[in-house]
Structure 1
Amino acid sequence: MMELQLAKNKLVADNYTCVVVSKGVVCYTSVEKGIKPLMLPLMQDKNIFSNMVLADKIIGKAAALLVIYSGITKVYADTMSSEAKKIFEKNNVHYEYQVEVPYILNRDKTSICPIEKLVEKIDSPDDAYNEIKEFLIK
């Protein structure tokens, strides 16, 4: 759990949106918002985060499916959706969070996040990755 604590500490201390740790070393950070911090590196290399630990500000269903897709083994989120928790439980991914919410809202908090809507009926990590990739490319 030391790696997860390191990722959490870095997330808070340096105000990142995403921190990935491997073998006790911070190997990736981002200040990008939304799904981009996970998705952009995955578009370059599917295995880039394999067996690593993630701390993120917000993890909903879409991010959870990408975590499974990428092979990340432990996750922390400041805010995590109920759907994300279910995905982690089903796939035996250790998770921790501060606040649980029913779903992730869009940036102006008026509706469900568009990426969450996109994966609403998707349960396959591969299908989620492909749908999100298509969405981001458009």
Structure 2
Amino acid sequence: MQEEDPENRRAIERLHAEGCSCVVRNGEIVRAFHQRGVSDLWRLLHEEPELLRGAFVADKVVGKGAAALMAVGGVRRLYARTVSRPALELLAAAGIPVEYETVAEHIINRAGTGICPVEQLCADARTPEECLPRIGEFIRRMKEQTKTAEHETK
């Protein structure tokens, strides 16, 4: 790996200290995110792609879906507390250097009962671009479920 940038190290420290899900650093701009899953990366890719392009990302958990979003977004370098093997393979193919604490065979779902649904949806995708419509559909379904649940509680 290249010589470490102290600003990247600060982003990693912020990830741990503030309990963020993700910290994105692009030049002087540093932003912390707190949503679970791939929602923040999806939103950034579609609404603020310039923030991802050439950025350093520090992330708690990186599965294949998050890795695909980072690759398509042009992320330059990544730190992950936990990364899945499929994500590492995708990132290596995209030429994105990764520093990590733990490698998992796959990312586990929030209930701890099986594979993360996004990891599962992207499992047989050969390229980051193949993952995008699958992730988009997953996010759309999750938003619908949230709206339905909110409507039912009113």
Q: Deviations over 1:94-131 (max 9, x none)?
A: 10111111000000111000111111111222221122
Distance 1:21 1:45, change over 3 A: closer
Which residue is 2:151 aligned to? none
Q: Report the alpha carbon displacement of residue 4 of structure 1 after superposing the two structures with TM.
A: 2.5
Q: Please say if 1:17 is aligned against 2:21.
A: yes
Higher relative contact order, chain-length normalized (CA < 8 Å, sep 6+): 1
1-side partners of 2:136 and 2:83: how far apart? 22
Structure 1 or 2, whichever has the larger Rg, is 2
| Equivalent pair of 1:47/1:71 in contact (CA under 8 Å) | no
The 5 Å alignment of 1:11-50 reads 11-26=15-30, 28-50=31-53
Distance 1:108 1:80, change over 3 A: same
Identity, % of aligned positions: 29
Structure 1 outlier segments of 4+, above 4 Å? none
May I ask how many residue pairs the two structures share in their alignment? 137
Distance 1:128 1:33, change over 3 A: same
Q: Normalization by structure 1: what TM-score?
A: 0.92
1-side partners of 2:81 and 2:28: how far apart? 21
Q: Which runs of 5+ in 1 are unaligned?
A: none
Q: Read off the aligned partner of 1:13 and give its amino acid letter.
A: A
2-side partners of 1:9 and 1:48: how far apart? 20
Q: Which is further off, 83-92 or 38-47?
A: 38-47
Q: Which runs of 5+ in 2 are unaligned?
A: 142-154
1-side partners of 2:36 and 2:76: how far apart? 22
2-side partners of 1:67 and 1:98: how far apart? 18
Q: Deviations over 1:63-85 (max 9, x none)?
A: 11111110001001111111111
